[in-house]
Amino acid sequence: MNALAGCRVLDLGIITAGAATAACLADFGAEVIKIESASYRDPFRRWLSDKPADAPDDLPPFFKATNRNKLGLSLDLKQALGRATFLRLVANSDVVVENFRRGVMQKLGLDYPALKAVNPNIILASISSQGETGPDALYVSYGSTLEAVAGLAWTTGYAGDVPAITGVDLNYPDQVVGLFASSMVVTAWHARQNGQGGAHLDMSQRELTSFLSGEAFVAASDGVAPGREGNAQAPNLIQACFPAQDGTWVAVTVEAGQRVALAQLVDARAPAVAVAALEAGLRDWITSRPAGAAVEDLLAHDIAAAAVLSGAQVWQQQGRVWDQALQTSPQGAVVKGFPQQFERQPMTISREAPSVGADSDEVLRRVGRLTQDEIDTLRDHGVI
């Protein structure tokens, strides 16, 4: 897909929020240049790894997923030469993506006014936990604390139990901001193409997480406090997961009007039996048979059911459960695919995630328009 053909993105993003935003822009056809320094690499290169910081570079799965289709540039922004070089790149680029802690770009002398001074049409996409302004803007946060303060943890978990968070393997606020932020960049890019100039996009992960949980807050404002219900959800008669004979879990949703059908299926003595007893009967019935057979019988009675698939099992369901969500890179690595796809010009994974500085010289010559002597000077000073 070439929605962003001709757009050049300087990607300062790390972990998921920034890097995934830039990955979406690369999928849309933008040229994305991932910028790291020798002293501070994207932590995803060592994510959940016990390797020392000075170990040879590698590309863990998380890093591959959020950095495919990008070029790699090594550039130390803490050095004056590095910052000056970055501004030369900005002068010939269209978008900068960053998700540093608030205040970092300003301390580096690379905030929006500084970028705009060298390129009046630059688009700066600032992705942060709490946004650019407000009393919490400078606070350190993680996915867990964002889900807590955004209200998501309040609505998740089981009745009478503690709130639940998604954890590092999902990190819900990071995942959703990548989709919203990339769409905002596309909107700003097309506005710029229509003569409306650059923009500073301020995107708060906390705000987006609250937005996506908004129905619960509307109910609370009306005096309704449903509380945590686990997998149960009114007005369904039963909604839960049960273990089958083969160890696979089965998710089931039984509507209120299906009481008789369920009672007949699990051989309850009477359809008027209490819901708790009916749920216990359903649990025993599923436990006594393989997951596939249980799901098949439930579906035959028009009761919604599905096996809870592991990651490996999901991968095996391509073409049935999913089509574009996962892709393989040119070297055969499994990476995240696309949240949407285009028929006439399908998006593809055409480039592996870069090792640190893989394309430094080429990017500096072509985009920064540096001479070889200038590049050699940067290397001599440890800037690249």
pLDDT at 182 (0 to 100): 93
Helices (H), the chain: 17-27, 61-67, 80-91, 104-107, 112-118, 143-150, 152-155, 172-191, 205-212, 214-221, 259-265, 275-287, 291-300, 311-315, 360-366, 372-380
Mean pLDDT, residues 146-175 taken together? 82
Length of the chain: 384
Residue 31 φ then ψ, to 5°: -85, 115
Q: Which CATH class is domain 8-212+324-380?
A: alpha beta
The percent of residues above 90 in pLDDT, for the chain, comes to 49
At 73-85, the pLDDT tens digits run 999 999 999 999 9
pTM: 0.86
Mean pLDDT of the chain: 88
Confidence band for 151, pLDDT divided at 50, 70 and 90: confident
At 290-315, the pLDDT tens digits run 999 999 999 999 999 999 998 888 88
Mean pLDDT, residues 350-370 taken together? 94
Per the omega criterion (within 30 degrees of 0), is the bond before 243 cis? Answer: no
What is the Cα–Cα distance from 258 to 342, expressed in whole angstroms? 40
Mean pLDDT, residues 276-297 taken together? 94
Q: Which CATH class is domain 238-311?
A: alpha beta
pLDDT at 58 (0 to 100): 62
Q: Is the per-residue pLDDT at 274 higher than 80?
A: yes
Q: Where do the domains of the chain lie?
A: 8-212+324-380, 238-311
Of 87-96, 161-170, 309-318, 361-370, give the lowest mean pLDDT range.
161-170
Mean pLDDT, residues 222-249 taken together? 85
Look up residue 262 and give its amino acid: L
Confidence band for 107, pLDDT divided at 50, 70 and 90: very high
Mean pLDDT, residues 210-217 taken together? 79
Residues 6+ apart with CB under 8 A from 114: 87
